[in-house]
């Protein structure tokens, strides 16, 4: 299950670079910083697991969940985004 989660997280993080609806810095937005965080943290967490550094692996995965998944959720609710309209109405 862990390998599937890692693969999916990496695919989603990479695919986010083609989403350029909200442009703040050139074609990029703050959500892309979260994508970079995922692309760095996921392989690091896998390396921690392979080297039996359980505490470091656990910490990396918890931080990844808090920052990447929660942060991405918050960014989707910004005014002007589709999910903002769905949740809060026009």
> What pLDDT score was predicted for residue 49?
95
* 3-state SS record for 18-77: HCCCCCCECCECCHHHHHHHHHHHHHHHHHHHHCCCHHHHHHHHHHHHHHHHHHHHHHHC
> What pLDDT score was predicted for residue 81?
78
* Tally of structural domains, the chain: 1
pTM of the full structure: 0.72
> Where in the sequence is the domain holding 68, given as residue range(s)?
2-88
pLDDT in tens, 18-34: 776 665 566 666 777 78
């Amino acid at each position: 299950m862990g390998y599937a989660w890692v693969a999916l997280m990496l695919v989603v993080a990479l695919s986010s670079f083609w989403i350029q609806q909200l442009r703040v810095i050139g074609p990029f937005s703050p959500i892309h910083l979260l994508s970079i965080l995922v692309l760095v943290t996921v392989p690091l967490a896998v390396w921690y697991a392979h080297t039996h550094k359980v505490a470091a692996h656990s910490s990396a995965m918890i931080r990844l969940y808090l920052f990447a998944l929660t942060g991405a959720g918050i960014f989707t609710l910004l005014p002007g985004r589709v999910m903002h309209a769905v949740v809060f109405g026009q």
